[in-house]
């Protein structure tokens, strides 16, 4: 019995320490004015470094983007890209799938929050809201402490 208790304590301790290795970014994502809580997959942060991509798998729940702290340390100053695929069924029954690539900066990882709002430009509502951007697949805006919303106009 004593051995079982020691094994249980060891497993719980290992779980606590492994969780402490994660880095947590306070992040909120929305797509077409809907909070992104489901229907996404393959989320990662990518940075081009010495002509090759450094990729870090990420886990997102509304309000939190978790990534391994070791992975975060590999990123240098400069732009990073949050990349994920979004999928949902339209009211017409058609399946909508799109990969998004949102630019952020390493310095933002230290901010108290980051908010991204993505707008698909094939939606009539978004085309009427943002008529100067109708030639894009999607556009997005972001908010970080000390800024107002800023449009990111190029889908690199």
Rounded Cα–Cα distance for residues 102 and 56 (Å): 15
Q: Which residue has the higher pLDDT, 3 or 128?
A: 128
Rounded Cα–Cα distance for residues 63 and 61 (Å): 6
**Three-state DSSP class for 156?**
coil
The pLDDT tens digits of the residues spanning 4-51 come to 554 556 555 555 444 546 888 899 999 999 999 888 889 999 988 877
pLDDT of amino acid 11 = 55
- Write b or e for each residue in 28-43: b if 16 or more Cβ atoms lie within 10 A of its Cβ, otherwise e: bbbbbeeebeeebeeb
The pLDDT tens digits of the residues spanning 61-115 come to 999 999 888 887 778 777 899 999 999 998 899 999 999 999 988 888 888 999 9
pLDDT of amino acid 84 = 96
The pLDDT tens digits of the residues spanning 103-149 come to 988 888 888 999 999 999 999 999 999 998 889 999 999 998 988 67
pLDDT of amino acid 20 = 47
Whole-structure pTM value: 0.78
DSSP state letters, 42-58 = EEEEEEEETTEEEEEE-
Q: In DSSP terms, which residues pair with 37 in a beta bridge?
A: none
Residue appearing with tokens 């799938």 = 97
């Amino acid at each position: 019995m004593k051995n079982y208790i020691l094994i249980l304590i060891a497993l719980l301790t290992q779980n606590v320490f492994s969780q402490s290795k994660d880095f947590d970014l306070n992040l909120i994502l929305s797509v077409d004015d809907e909070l992104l809580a489901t229907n996404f997959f393959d989320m990662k942060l990518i940075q081009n470094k010495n002509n090759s991509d450094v990729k870090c798998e990420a886990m997102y729940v509304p309000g939190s983007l978790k990534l391994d702290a070791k992975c975060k340390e590999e990123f240098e100053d400069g732009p990073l890209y949050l990349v994920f695929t979004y999928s949902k069924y339209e009211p017409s029954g058609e399946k909508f799938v799109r990969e998004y690539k949102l630019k952020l900066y390493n310095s933002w990882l230290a901010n108290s929050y980051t908010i991204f709002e993505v707008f698909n430009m094939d939606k009539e509502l978004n085309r009427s809201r943002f008529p100067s951007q109708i030639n894009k697949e999607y556009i997005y805006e972001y908010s970080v402490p000390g800024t107002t919303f800023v449009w990111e106009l190029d889908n690199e």
